[in-house]
């Protein structure tokens, strides 16, 4: 591939912003990326910034999902244990149904949050 600006010169890089082929004279390095010298540097810097921000946002979201998923599961288990204990000590059955349903809902919700946490982490 030849340089976009110099048809006689071989290109050494592609601009991350406009994807033009660039020779050694035309390329500028922005962070770990290449951009057109004096043309796309600001765009590529912005792009890198967005990607970096997106990456840390995903990690933070994942951690938040994991924490709340874990506690929601734990809460659900507490309700289920209360339900089991209540059955042994002949607590009123409406109360037991409430405990069981709430327990299952919390565990289900918590597990779905843990799955979301995993999905965010994989990105
Ligand atoms: Zn460019
Ligand atoms: Zn060039």
Q: How far does the centroid of ligand 2 lie from the alpha carbon of residue 39, in Å?
A: 13
Residue spans per domain, the chain: 1-39, 56-122
CB 20 within 8 A of CB 43: no
Neighbours of 118 (CB within 10 A): 13
12-34 residue pLDDT tens: 999 999 999 999 999 999 988 99
CB 82 within 8 A of CB 99: yes
Q: How far does the centroid of ligand 2 lie from the alpha carbon of residue 36, in Å?
A: 9
CB 34 within 8 A of CB 19: no
26-79 residue pLDDT tens: 999 998 899 999 999 999 999 999 988 888 888 888 899 999 999 999 999 999
């Amino acid at each position: 591939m030849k340089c976009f600006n110099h048809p006689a010169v071989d290109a050494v890089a592609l601009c991350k912003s406009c994807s033009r082929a660039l020779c050694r004279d035309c390329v500028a390095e922005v962070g770990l990326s290449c951009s057109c010298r004096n043309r796309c540097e600001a765009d590529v810097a912005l792009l890198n910034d967005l990607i970096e921000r997106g990456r840390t946002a995903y990690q933070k979201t994942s951690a938040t999902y994991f924490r709340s998923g874990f506690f929601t599961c734990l809460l659900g288990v507490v309700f289920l244990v209360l339900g089991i204990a209540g059955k042994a000590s002949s607590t009123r059955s409406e109360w037991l149904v409430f405990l069981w349903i709430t327990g299952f809902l919390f565990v289900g919700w918590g597990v779905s949050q843990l799955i979301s946490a995993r999905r965010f982490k994989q990105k």
